[in-house]
Amino acid sequence: MRLSTIAVAFVSIAFAASISYAAEAPAPKPAVMKPVPPARLTEKAPDVTAASLLGADVKGENWEVASAVHSDGFLRIFSVKTPYGDFQVNGVRRMKERINELRALSVLEKMSRTKAFGDALAKAGMAPIKFGRDLILDPVETTGNFVSGVGKMFNNIYTGVKNRGKGRDPLLESVTGITKAERDLAADLNVDPYTDFSPLRNGLEDVAHAIAAGDLTVTGALSAIPGGAGIAVGATSTASTVAASIKDKTSTEIAALVVKKLQGMGVDETTIKAFIENTNYTPADQYAISDSLEKLGAANATAYIARANAATTADVAKFMRYRAELLTMDTGKLGTLKDFTIVSEMAINHDASGRLVAAFPFDGVYWTDSVAQSLTRLSTDMKSVNRPRAIASTGALSPMATARLKEMGWAVMRVN
């Protein structure tokens, strides 16, 4: 019996020890599961070639556009080399306008080398003209920027910064022969006589001065170029219409027309004054915007002009001009725009059905980080309005941008 009791006790002790050991032993580590990466929420805008956007105009007598063209998600960003300096241009339409200006500058240089022009310089006692001095561009057009001024504007959704107008160059206020010659030259070359492109601005001024002082006509100066005038400068139909409307007017006279148009649309005097004094717009830009809004006939034009006044660069000023022209040309396709209203500090429209319409002259929309942030913010602010809404772009939207906007309740449209 005793032996049996001892055996039982021994077994009990061993069992207890095994339980204690099991309790103290470390638990096995669970299998580590690798996290499944989430679907990418944004995308990188792909580069394209300059030739795909500009064709043969990637290179000319005095310019060459770099092959790779980037995008900030809204606009294409071009890099350009010229004898007058290297710079970038933001947006396809603005790039085409710069090419026209460079082509016009080449014509002026050819003109300055003709015998007729040399005789005019000698008669006026003037030295030969040096082209391309003092290249000063809009700061956003210096090389190396990967976001356009328009992209920054959308990122900030208008900062409310007030631009202080510097006033116009007194030369441009004159109705003397020099300024008339400048306007005639610019009209024949299909460029804005008040251009912000310094090499052309200076070239027009110098050539016009020589023409006036040397008793040479613009027609005579152009026809003296070997092989005929040799002008192959183009312009958009809208730009040509604007140029024809203001060809024979000084900037003071253009300003008076702009004021009259804006007053007729009920824009208040303070807003009009700020618009006229904003020198990021050329007189031609201001006329184009006021004329477009007048033709559009949408109520509350004050909202558009007030937002246009926030432009602190020529880059944004041109975009505001292009947008006003777009709204006017495509109002029917957009649902007949009836008025402007402010959402997220941006002037957008109601169409005839009451739908909110946001239309922009984008080169193409890609759902980059910055584009996603700005359009998501706009979408969030739109929810409080509680109306159907549509967004329209002149350039195609990427599949991702289209999907994200539709998820946010937008109808997506493409316009001219």
Domain residue ranges of the chain, discontinuous segments joined by +: 48-235
pLDDT number for residue 309: 95
pLDDT number for residue 125: 87
pTM exceeds 0.75 for this model: yes
Ranges of residues in the chain whose predicted pLDDT is under 70: 1-40, 133-144, 146, 156-178, 227-240
For 64-115, write each residue's pLDDT tens digit: 999 999 999 999 999 999 998 899 999 999 999 999 999 999 999 999 999 9
What's the mean pLDDT when you consider all of the chain? 83
- Do the Cβ atoms of 179 and 171 come closer than 8 Å? yes
Instruction: Give, to the nearest 10 degrees, the angle between helix 251-264 and helix 269-277.
Output: 150
Question: How many whole angstroms from its chain centre is CA 274?
Answer: 21
- Do the Cβ atoms of 225 and 114 come closer than 8 Å? yes
In the numeric block, the tokens 């007189």 are attached to 283
List CB contacts of 398: < 8 A, sequence separation 6 or more: 43, 364, 365, 366, 367
For residue 151, CA distances in Å to 72, 156, 157 come to: 7, 9, 10
For 9-49, write each residue's pLDDT tens digit: 433 444 444 444 444 445 555 555 455 444 569 999 999 99
pLDDT number for residue 381: 87
pLDDT number for residue 238: 67
Rounded distance between C-alpha atoms, residue 98 and residue 104, angstroms: 10
**Which candidate, 153, 73, 157, 150, places its Cα nearest to that of 346?**
157
Instruction: Give, to the nearest 10 degrees, the angle between helix 301-308 and helix 269-277.
Output: 40
